[in-house]
Amino acid sequence: MEIKPIIEEDALAKLLGGDEFGNIPRSTCTKIEKLGAVFDELIDPSLYHQNMGVDSVKKGAVHLEKGPEFKSSKLSKTLKDCEEIVCYIVTLGDGIEDEINRLMNEKHLAEAYILDAIASVAVDNMVATFHQRMKNKYENQSKQVTLCFSPGYCDWPITDQKKLFSMFDSNELDVELTDSCFMQPRKSISGVFGITTFNSNQSTHSYNPCLECNRRDCSERRNSAH
C-alpha cells in the first residue's frame, strides 16, 4: 500500500516544544521549510501489512491461528473481541536517517533536531492514515477496528518485535531488527490493531489503556478512546 506522509504542523510544533505552529519563531519556520524540501527528496516510504486470524485471547496472551502468541494484559484487553488482527510495519527508508546523521556529524545540531522531528511526525502520520483507511474499509463491512498497539507500548515487551517480524517475509522488508529489537531504519513503526464484528450492544469505543494510567507525561498517551 502506498501512503505519502503528511507533516502535520501542530504535531511538529509540539514535538519542537511549542503549542501550535503559528507560535514557532520565524527562524525555525525558515529551517522547517528548507528541511521539508530535503525530507521530500530523501524519503522512500514503505508500508507492509497482513491479516492474521485470532485463535483465542486468554490469561493475558493473544494466541494467533497461524502464528506466535503475544503476551500482554493490555493488548489482550484491546483484542479480546477480535476475530483477526492487522499486523503492519511502516518505514521512511534509510535516506532521511543518513541525512540526520550527516547533519549531526557536521555539528548542524538544530537542523538535525528539526529534521528528526519532521521524520517522527511523518512516520506517525503514515500509521494514522493507514489505520483510518482500514477503519473506513471495515466500517463498510459492518466491522470496527481497535486502537493501534506496538511492541514496547504499555506492558507489551519490545522483544515481541521478533514475533511480529516473523510473520513477514524478511526478503521483502526494507526494515531490520537489531539485537536489542529496535528497528533500522530508525524512523520505522511496527504494530497491530484488531478487527471485530460490529455489535449494537458493544461500545463503539475501543479499549484505551491510557484511561487507566495516571502517567500524564507519557509521549504516547492517548486521551481519546476512539
* Span 164-203, pLDDT tens digits: 999 999 899 999 999 999 999 999 999 999 999 876 455 5
- Model pTM score: 0.88
Reference 221, options 123, 157, 163, 147; nearest CA is 147
- Quick one: pLDDT at residue 220? 59
CB under 8 A, 24+ apart: contacts of 59-68: 67/163, 67/166, 67/167, 68/160, 68/163, 68/166, 68/167
d(Cα 49, Cα 87) in Å, to the nearest integer? 5
Per cent of the chain over pLDDT 90 is 77
- Quick one: pLDDT at residue 214? 61
| Cell numbers linked to 173 | 522488508
**Per-10-residue mean pLDDT, the chain, length 226:** 90 90 91 96 96 94 92 93 95 96 97 97 97 95 93 92 94 93 96 85 58 60 50
d(Cα 222, Cα 99) in Å, to the nearest integer? 31
Helix, strand, or coil (residue 223): coil
d(Cα 156, Cα 176) in Å, to the nearest integer? 20
- Quick one: pLDDT at residue 226? 40
Q: Which residue has the cell 476512539?
A: 226
Single-letter amino acid, residue 204: T
Structural domains of the chain in order of their starting residue, each with its CATH number: 9-212 (3.40.109.40)
CA dihedral 155, 1, 16, 211 (to 10 degrees): -30
d(Cα 97, Cα 211) in Å, to the nearest integer? 34
| Distance from chain centroid for Cα 3 | 13
| Cell numbers linked to 179 | 539485537
- Quick one: pLDDT at residue 204? 46
